[in-house]
Structure 1
Amino acid sequence: MSGKRIAIVTGGSLGDWVLKELQPDDLLVGSDRGALFLIENGLRPHISLGDFDSVTLEDKEKIRASSTLFMDCDPVYKDLTDTEMAFEWALSQQPGSIVLLGALGTRFDHSLANIHLLRKAADCGTPCRIIDASNEIRLIRESTVLQKGPYAHVSLLPVSLEVTGITLRGFQYPLEQATLQIGQSLGISNVLLEETGDIQIEAGYLLVIQSKD
């Protein structure tokens, strides 16, 4: 499995947009209700895992029968969220990249915890993105070329105490060797002028959020 893209579908906000983000060669991981979503849309997860407390017992058995691998755990005596369990499994497979779908939703605590998983991926050197119907989120530690795609806005937020040496090329609001400190909103709602833009940084963890609206 080393080198493949792993797509984790978890139990946040889901919809038809998820199916459009999946690629034919993806290794599919279903986390709790995300596994049921895959199966109900005619897809077979390579592995389904979680405590499955958001589905019925009947649905849980359907997930078990329709997955190549199945792992469940006690919902009370576990230390990780379902999404983090799936994420840890995905990292252990040494994938080429990871995409998280359904990782954002009405539970802000879970959404924020899932965004923090991007830091773990960055420390492992594994490219990782969180995608929902309106946003694509990644965390970078080094210079990156960003594709505009369908997104109108780009926002930059530090998730370390500060990010230094930020230089932007191809953006409406350029920066030159700037420093962003956590809590600042200077990097919110920039715009790519061309199909690609260059983000250079020297040190720190920078959250890059592309939004459609």
Structure 2
Amino acid sequence: MKKLTLTLSALLFVLVLNAQEIWLETALKGGGGMSFLMNKNILNDNTYRNTLSPMYGFGAKVAVNFGAWHGIALEGLFNSSSQRWDYSLPNVTGDLQNEVKWNSLELYLLYRYIRNRTYIEVGPMYSMISSVEQTDNEVQLQDPDPFYEDNYLAGVFGFGGYLGGSETFSVGLGIRVHYGFTDLVSDEGRAAGYPNPIRENIYDS
């Protein structure tokens, strides 16, 4: 099951130290957006409906910029993400819900190109999952952590701009898209039918 997220990030309290053609940038960051888990079995099941689900996070970054246009940034963000599906079962009135929530520390290594106070950025992200909760059909699943991976690798693309500020302080706003390259559900989870373990018909892995 892949993870796709779209986040709106705010860059706050940016300190810039000029050193000829190389300068250092530090920032506090916060953001919110939507996450979307893609599972082939659920996508092919017309009784299941994916919903864009909320996520938010905060953290910090340190960047080394080379001249006016190029930079490399290392970021760390504490994120809280979720995914909700609405689904139906035979002889059951109304929709049921299956929801997964997880907390993670996400580390980014990004190349950023800056021009005319706007930027684009691209690079890898490594996510370390600290906890997982899941509720399916109003049943709180006990200890679902072993059924999900402890970490995964993703790619990131983003763009944005600096809204205002001075040589030592600025505020920026940007949008990022993340795509997970590896499966969020573990081998043990796939064998147990996750992310939908209490369905009447367990999917093939």
TM-score by length of 2: 0.22
Q: Which has the higher strand share?
A: 2
Higher Rg of the two aligned structures:
2
Q: Which has the higher helix share?
A: 1
TM-score by length of 1: 0.21
